[in-house]
Amino acid sequence: MKKHIPTYVVTGFLSTGKTSYINSLLKNSSQKTLAIQFEQGVQSIAANTPNVQTVSFDIHNPKDFTAITQKIQTLIANNSFEKIFIEFNGMSDFKNLESIIFDSKLSNFLTIKEVVYISTTDFVLNMLKHIGPSQFSQIYNADKAKIWQNEANKTLIPAAKKSLRLINPKIKFSNGFYFKLLSLLNFSSLSLFLIIFTLLVWAKIIPATAHVIKILSIIAGVCLEAFPFLLLGAFFSAILQKYISIQQIENLLKSNPIKASLIAILQGIIVPICDCGIINVFRALIIRKVPLPIAILYLLATPFMNPFVMLSTYYAFSGNIAIVATRIGLALLCAGIVSLTFINYSDNPLLKNSSFTLELENNTLYSRNIDSNSRYYNVINYTQNEFLNMSKYVIIGATISALFQVYLWPILVNYSFVQIPIFAITTGFVFAFILSLCATADAMIASSLINQLSFKGVFSFMLLGPVFDLKNFLLLRKVCTYEFIIRLALTIIITITAVIYLTSLAANFVGVTL
Amino acid sequence: MKNKLHYLNKEALQAFLSYTLLFILLSYLIISKKYLQLVVPRLVPFLVFMIFILCLFMVDSFKNLFRKKYKYNCQKYAPLFAVFFLLMFLSNHDLSILQYPNLIAPKRPISQNIGKVTPLPSKTLTVDEEAKKTILEAMKIPAAPTNKIAVKQPKSTEETVKEVPKAPALAVVSNKSLDDFIFDDEIIEQIPIKQEANNANLEPIILNSNNFYNELIKITNKIDDYQGQTLIIEGYILRDKTLFSTGDFYLARMAMTCCIADIMPFGLVCFAHGKYDYPDGTWIHAEGKITKTTFFNMPQAGLKLEKVKVIEPIEGYIYP
């Protein structure tokens, strides 16, 4: 079997010092080395070093890889190189390099040992966000990063490192530490733990008590219920992203704010996406430049406009139409007020790298399709990514609420919170947040809580639950900045409290005791 | 072959595996109706949509199975595997324990029939039908076609039904303590006797898993029309010491609105008049006359028990 030649890939944007880095490595090397350049830099590699052979290619036309691979192959066959350096093009996506190496016979001759990303603080902090996804793919695929350091930029290094870690959390720095343990403590590990736990219960090593079965089935039930809606939301937002242009949305939503608001509210009847799927669509709307108040109105009103939600509320309160009407009316009122407060909100609610990481993730899913420009492929890829990204948060939300429901709920539910109204409202909020019930189910639970929480508590439960709960929070966290989430949550909570108090005052005025 | 394996894309393999396993499991759950243990039938179209999308994902990941990449993100698929294993485990496990209130199964058997849990959840719907047949046979009433609800609408009587003022829509709970709401047998005795006598001759209403929820809601909404009519109901006994002092109890079934996380007992008050001292969680077949009562000022249906028989627990939930 042929020996694989160790290959080192150096990536980075134009004129960030890739060539200087390779030269510094080659300076004292006595091994016979091939240096492949995929761009014409200012500097050339190791011009005066005798045991280094340099070759350079132009990869602007991505269909032309066969000629490149054949040339490299003949070079390798005719010389006995001990090491290969690849200086990759700063403007090209990493998947092009993968195509060159892995889709050809080249991968029988060489193995990539390490990918290093070279950059400067100036580039990472100021330019990165304006450059397309190609840079993100390079950072994502890098094992190591090197940021050029000098006296002037010393203080900026930590910030630059932080930005790179946002894109590639596992990246190592040539000047810094990286704790491997940290990578184990992420959100996926809960899923792994769950798998192990389930298998242990199955093998009867952990006794299958009623509590254990109840917790496991709540997690499974919530996931089974949420996943289809998550997929539906992801699919819907993928279509929104790939098939509907910004122009079309502008025509529909920007011309007339009242018309736009009505569309945002009423579409929920036609497209009944459950609350788990809505966050994906919300992000898609923001990326598609829909005005923030309209997007928020959509986020807050849709769960209540769902026909299933109305029906289940109707049934839960033994066919009491007044309660259904009150619920929808108050919910829309709150949604309107909250979205109005965001009219002058100038910050971008999305995470800085949100739309970029999205593009990046689309590119770095296991696939490297040649027809990556087709819309169908894009929609499928996007849906997959969104679904996979969000599913782990659903599992976490489900686990926490299952634990709460099994261990704390039986204790709490026996207390009566009616005496102090504000306490009843707060309890309603807390229950709604932690239980994270589906919007179609919470009315049922609410109606059973009426002894403990009174009208005020029950309505705080029913108004907050569908729009802001643990599951939603975990999903929003992935998409939006903390500042935005906190601002949104506080506004929602204050608005709901005020609206409930005003309603009960008004009702008292009319002569109905609440 | 060896060459091909060298190109294997580990991430695509994981994706393909997780999608395929979930696809097979979900199809199995839907076909065998085992999903009913965890979610409501209303979700089936959405689950079918999910199966369809999983198919597309499977094709996509299969296409990429031999496209090698430098870096793999394999943790991504852990949630899917977790859900797969959970569902695998639960679909093979007896979940009937969740159908009892507060996780308590009947503690001591009254007769030999009690406490024996039928193991097959797939029987969900048939058990009820059988029970219904035996009831009808016992009562010598020809069995109605199984899919139709064996309920006859009460005839509109000329009798003017005494108007009971409906409680204001939102007047649900005031600041009174719970003791003020303790049920009193006297509340019931406000039924016009003629109406009751008329309704008593009507065909009995038989509740089964399919119509349990809707019929009870219908009866509650038009309680005045139904008073005195015979109701046949099967469920388990649920006592609430704070509400019922006289040995009365709820006869309930577990209702699932959306998924297993929101199951809760749903039923009606039975007035036992001190008889039928079965422990909580006992499944009974009860027959009695519908009567009117109030619960927190809202008109509610109650049942004056006449015949009670201990039965085997019924598998499955009721789905509003």
What pLDDT was estimated at residue A428? 87
Judge: A198–B89 Cβ closer than 8 Å, yes or no.
yes
In this prediction, residue A238 carries a pLDDT of: 81
Instruction: Enumerate the residues of chain B whose CB falls inside 8 A of the CB of residue A512.
Output: 168-171
Return mean pLDDT, chain B: 70
Distance from CA of B103 to the nearest CA of A (A): 7
Q: Is B189 exposed, middle or buried (0-12, 13-18, 19+ CB in 10 A)?
A: exposed
Q: B162 or A156: which carries more pLDDT confidence?
A: A156
**Beta-ladder partners of B304:** B271, B289
Q: Residues with Cβ < 8 Å from A17, sequence gap 6 or more?
A: A118, A120, A148
Strands A52-56 and A83-87: unpaired
d(CA A111, CA A84) in angstroms, rounded, equals: 9
Question: Is the CB of B260 inside 8 Å of chain A's CB atoms?
Answer: yes
CB A86 within 8 A of CB A18: no
User: Do residue A235 and residue B53 have CB atoms under 8 angstroms apart?
Assistant: yes
pLDDT tens sequence for chain A (514 residues): 456 888 899 988 887 888 888 888 887 777 888 888 887 665 677 666 777 888 888 777 666 688 888 888 888 888 888 888 888 887 888 888 888 888 778 888 888 888 999 888 888 887 877 776 778 888 888 888 888 877 777 888 888 888 888 777 778 887 555 455 555 556 677 888 889 998 998 888 888 888 888 899 889 988 888 888 888 888 887 887 778 776 777 777 767 788 888 888 888 777 767 677 788 788 888 877 788 888 899 889 988 888 878 877 887 776 678 888 989 999 999 999 999 998 888 777 776 655 566 666 665 666 665 555 677 887 888 888 878 877 888 888 888 888 888 888 777 766 666 667 788 888 889 888 988 777 777 777 777 777 677 788 888 989 998 888 888 888 888 788 888 999 999 999 999 999 998 988 888 887 665 5
Spatial separation of the C-alpha atoms in residues A318 and B220, rounded to whole Å: 7
User: Angle at which helices A275-287 and A292-305 pack, to 10 degrees?
Assistant: 160
Q: Does B72 touch chain A (CB under 8 A)?
A: yes
Cβ B70–A202 below 8 Å, yes or no? no
Q: What percent of chain B has pLDDT over 70?
A: 63
pLDDT computed for residue B197 by the predictor:
62
Residues 352-381 of A with CB under 8 A from B: 364-369, 377, 380-381
Please name which of B25, B256, B248, B285 lies closest in space to residue B131, comparing C-alpha atoms: B285
Q: What is the mean pLDDT of residues B259-273?
A: 82
Determine the distance from the C-alpha atom of residue A291 to the mean position of all C-alpha atoms in its chain, rounded to a whole number: 21
pLDDT value of residue B59: 92
Residues of A in contact with B264 (CB under 8 A): 444-445, 448
* SS3 (DSSP) at A223: helix
What number is the ipTM of this complex? Answer: 0.80
Q: What is the pLDDT of residue B224?
A: 81
Q: What one-letter code names the amino acid at B280?
A: D
Give the Cα separation of A419 and A73 in Å (integer).
82
Q: Is B19 near chain A, with CB under 8 Å?
A: no
Least CB-CB distance to B264: which of A201, A416, A448? Answer: A448
- Cα A183 to Cα A170: distance, rounded to the nearest angstrom: 7
Find, among B62, B26, B61, the residue nearest to B44 by Cα. B26
Q: From the CA of B140, how many Å to the nearest CA of chain A?
A: 33
Largest separation between any pair of C-alpha atoms in chain A: 98
The single-letter code of the amino acid at A421 is P
Residue A336, CB-side half-sphere exposure with 13 Å CA sphere: 13
Q: B232 forms bridges with which residues in the sheet?
A: B206, B287
Question: Average pLDDT, stretch B185-200?
Answer: 53
Model pLDDT, residue B114? 31
Q: What is the pLDDT of residue A490?
A: 93
Query: Which tens digit of pLDDT belongs to each residue from B108-127?
Result: 223 333 333 333 333 333 34
Q: What is the least distance, in Å, from the CA of A151 to any CA of chain B?
A: 34
Residue A123 tokens read as: 């580039």
User: Smallest CA–CA separation between B124 and chain A, in Å?
Assistant: 18
Q: What local confidence, expressed as pLDDT, does residue A494 receive?
A: 94
Give the pLDDT confidence score for residue B50 in this predicted structure: 94
* Band of residue B5 on the pLDDT scale cut at 50, 70, 90: low
Nearest CA in chain B to A215: B261
A136 part of contact set with chain B, CB < 8 Å: no
Residue B205 pairs with which residues in a beta bridge? B231
Q: E strand or H helix at A476, and its extent?
A: helix A470-479
Q: What is the pLDDT of residues B269-286, one digit of tens each?
A: 888 777 777 887 788 899
